Each structure stands twice: as C-alpha cells, then as structure tokens.
Amino acid sequence: MPGLGLGDPPDEPRAPVPVHYQISITGRQAGFFFLLLLGALGLSFFFGMRTGAAARKGPGGAAAVLASASDIPVPTLAPSEEKRPEAALGIRPEERRAAAAEEKEAREARDAKKAAEAAPTPVPPTPVPPTPTAAPAPTRRPSPAPTAPKGPFYVQVLATKNAAAADELAKRLKSEGFAADVAVISGKPGWFRVHVGPFKERAKAETLAKKIKATDKQIKNVPLVVP
C-alpha cells in the first residue's frame, strides 16, 4: 500500500561524486619556489665540495664531515683495513717489480722519442772538394847534340838547272887552279852543281871556300861546304 510504503523499492547506494582540486600559483609564488630551489641546489653543491675536500685529506676527515652533516653514524675502517699489504691483494713482489720495470722502460722510451722529435735534424756537412795538386813538371831531357856530319866534304860553288852555265864555271875554276867538277844533285832531277873536293876534314873545305871567293871576283857569295 502506498500509505505504508510497502510498494516503494529499497534505496540503492549512490556512487561517490568525483572531486577535482585546482591549484593556482601566482607569478610571485612561482618566483619564490624557483629561488628556494636554487638555494637548495647551492647548499647541496657547497656540502658536496666540502665532502670532496675532506675525502682528499683522508678517510678520517671524510667520515668526520659526514658525521657532522648527518646524524646517521658513518662506519669507519679499522687501521688494519686502511692499508692492506700487497700480499692480501694478491700481488707478488716479483710481479710488482716486473710491472715497475716495464713502466720505467715505457717512460724512458717515451722520453727518448720526445727528445728525438725535439732535437733539430742534423745538416750533413758540405763536402769540400779536394785541393788540386800541381802536376809535377815534366822532366826535360837534354836534347841530344846534333851529330856533326861526316865527310867527305865538298865546296859547292853553284847549283843551277843550266848545264851550260855549270860547265862554263867549272872550266873557269879549273883555269884558276881549282879541281872543279859538275855533278847531278841527288833527289832534284834537272839540277846540277859545281863543286870542288872531296876533303876529309871540314876545316880544309871551309878554307878552300874562302880562297875561291877571294880568287874569283865573279862569285858574289862564299861557297857552301856540304857533305
């Protein structure tokens, strides 16, 4: 019945209405947040620099800086663990010496290469030509003395191609007391000579040539002495 509410359906649960939130930021608020972010980054950088400097000084300093910056306890290494011997690291002394020797050789090779590259390139010296030596003067051999022609010697009064003139001069010399004669000159065909002789000694022939010149006035020159 409607009056009793028996005919109404039961009330169904309603779905929750979604709620939307909207945040609005003004320009001044944005600038404030930006400055706040820069300040946080600056503090982080500052503490990072201090931590790095303390770490370079030693493990104790780094632990102290971390402990002062934070309330969290920082574990520290025991003195026996800070410097472990090489034997604990598995490095043998001979391996360490070999590695040191190899590193030394490599360093020396690099230094030698740099020194060779930095050194100026040597310029080869200019070859000096050998000094020419004067050639020895040729030894002059004394020229052999001309050998004196051997006799017999003749006094040649005339040499001509005219046979009649040669005969006429020979007759005149005979008339003057000289044993003149006409002969053919060897090697010269058609030439004749009028001579007086022979004489074994040249001096006698020269004396006779002067005598013939002085006796016969028609002879202009002194007759020749020929072998």
Tell me: the pLDDT tens digits for 21-30? 666 778 888 8
Three-state secondary structure call for residue 156: strand
Strand partners, 225: 155
Instruction: Please report the pLDDT score of residue 164 as a whole number.
Output: 92
Query: What is the Cα gyration radius of the chain?
Result: 74
Give percent of the chain with pLDDT exceeding 70: 64
Q: Is the pLDDT of residue 15 over 50?
A: yes
Q: What are the extents of the domains in the chain?
A: 27-69, 90-119, 153-226
Instruction: Please report the pLDDT score of residue 192 as a whole number.
Output: 92
- From CA 177, how far away is CA 215, in angstroms rounded? 10
Sign, CA dihedral 96-97-101-104, equals positive
Confidence of residue 129 (pLDDT cuts 50, 70, 90): confident
Q: Please, which residues have CB within 8 angstroms of residue 165's CB and are 6 or more apart in sequence? A: 158
Q: Is the pLDDT of residue 81 over 50?
A: no
Mean pLDDT comparison of 2-6, 72-76, 206-210, highest-scoring range: 206-210
Give ∠ CA 122-127-130 in degrees, rounded to 5. 160
**Answer CATH for 153-226 from 3.30.70.1070, 3.90.180.10, 3.75.10.20, 3.40.50.720:** 3.30.70.1070
Instruction: Please report the pLDDT score of residue 172 as a whole number.
Output: 92
From the list 205, 220, 201, the residue with the least C-alpha distance to 154 is: 205
Query: For 150-189, b where at least 16 C-beta lie within 10 A, e where not — what string?
Result: eeebbbbbbebeeeeebeebbebbeeeebebebeeeeeee
Instruction: Please report the pLDDT score of residue 171 as a whole number.
Output: 93
Q: How far is CA 199 from CA 24, 68, 110, 196, 219, in A?
A: 168, 155, 109, 9, 21
